[in-house]
Amino acid sequence: MSHSYPARRSVLLGSIAAATLAAAGRPVRAQGGYPTRPITLVIPFAAGGSTDVVGRLVAQKMSDELGQQVIVENVVGAGGNVGAARIAKADPDGYSILMGTVATHALNPLMLKRKPYDPIADFAPVSLLAVIPNVLVVNPKLPVKDVKELIALLKAEPGKYNYASSGLGTPLHLSGELFKSMAGVSMQHIPYRGSGPALNDVVAGQVPIQFDNLPSASEFIKSGGLRGLAVTTKERASSFPDIPTIAEAGLPGYETYTWNALFAPPKTPPAVIERLNAAARKAMADPNLIERMKAFSATVVSSTPEALGEHVKAEMAKWAPVVKEAGVTTE
């Protein structure tokens, strides 16, 4: 398998930054006074997770900019597919929008046997919002101090060790599968119903290894309940500057992360998309919001609609071979 993903992402994020700077100077015209009533932001996951936190912060700031309340509605089910499918079929008037993720717009469409929507054709991109690191953690009793030692242990005793994730087919599960593929190691995946139960079992020593979102694992790392070996992003996380990246710690070229982005229904008028994009960009530039995001290791990455569309295509291309090699399919 070819692993040119980081180079592709570097070019992509460079184009996002350039396009965003160019777009920042454009005058934005509302269509027919839009918006004239509240907007519903569907978050396709339960309250309390990183997507929900990002969504609520953005909704509050966008409400201030748009002059209408952006109301958050958590529509859970099928790994994010229920909420995403609702927006794919919603009226294209700008009053129903989606907080999409790598799960709704890359992984689920690649894994599902029956696809409720097309992640490209059935949505109008608005803006990329944030990138959130994942982290590789181990129980402190596992006799490894870094990624190189973990790889050596897994190669010395293939198939002996298990790793946990928040569920089958999640970005964290596939982070583990990409790690296995690139490192040439064998370990069994143990899926849980969410990060909480998985973390508890890894802390208790029931499972020795886990891939998790950095925000949810951070308190265990700080307390010593877990040993943070490496973050999965290209750059180190500002909240844990002493934890290296997997790429620099022994697996060059490795990179995964969770991202959040705004999408509207297909055929939403360009003027409405532009208005939403401008509000999202202004929200993400707010110093207070940036500080809040940093507190749970999220990095602000706003974009033009066009750049978000290219980002989705790149993510689909990145994850397709990983999903195929892992043999993951869901109903």
3-state per-residue secondary structure call for 270-306:
HHHHHHHHHHHHHHHCCHHHHHHHHHCCCEECCCCHH
Q: Could you confirm whether domain 134-249 is CATH 3.40.190.10?
A: yes
Say if residues 268 and 92 touch (Cβ distance below 8 Å): yes
Q: What are phi and psi of 136, to 5 degrees?
A: -95, 120
Q: 39 and 202 in contact (C-beta within 8 Å)?
A: no
pLDDT attached to residue 47: 83
Backbone angles phi, psi at 172, to 5 degrees: -75, -40
Does the CA dihedral 263-55-128-231 come out positive or negative?
negative
Alpha-carbon distances, residue 262 vs 6, 142, 170, 328 (angstroms): 23, 40, 20, 27
pLDDT value of position 15: 46
Partners of 329 in beta bridges: none
Contact of 280 with 127, CB cutoff 8 Å? yes
For the chain, the domains span 5-131+258-326, 134-249
Which class in CATH covers the domain with range 5-131+258-326? alpha beta
Residue 8, pLDDT score = 42
Distances (CA, A) of 147 to 6, 178, 240, 245, 328: 19, 14, 16, 9, 25
In sign, the C-alpha dihedral spanning 313, 318, 323, 324 is positive
Nearest to 133 by CA among 310, 11, 312, 296: 296
Q: List, in sequence order, every residue forming a beta bridge with 175; answer none if it has no partner.
A: none
Q: 134-249: same fold as 5-131+258-326?
A: yes
- For residue 268, which of 129, 87, 22, 117 has the smallest C-alpha distance? 87
Per-block mean pLDDT, blocks of 10 residues, the chain (331 long): 41 45 42 88 86 92 97 90 96 97 94 92 97 95 97 96 90 93 95 88 98 90 97 92 95 92 98 98 95 86 96 93 83 68
List, in order, residues 6 or more apart from 197 with CB less than 8 Å away.
none
Candidates 50, 58, 43; CA nearest to 127 is 58
- pTM passes above 0.85: no
What is the predicted pLDDT for the residue at 22?
Answer: 41
Question: What is the structure's pLDDT at 32?
Answer: 59
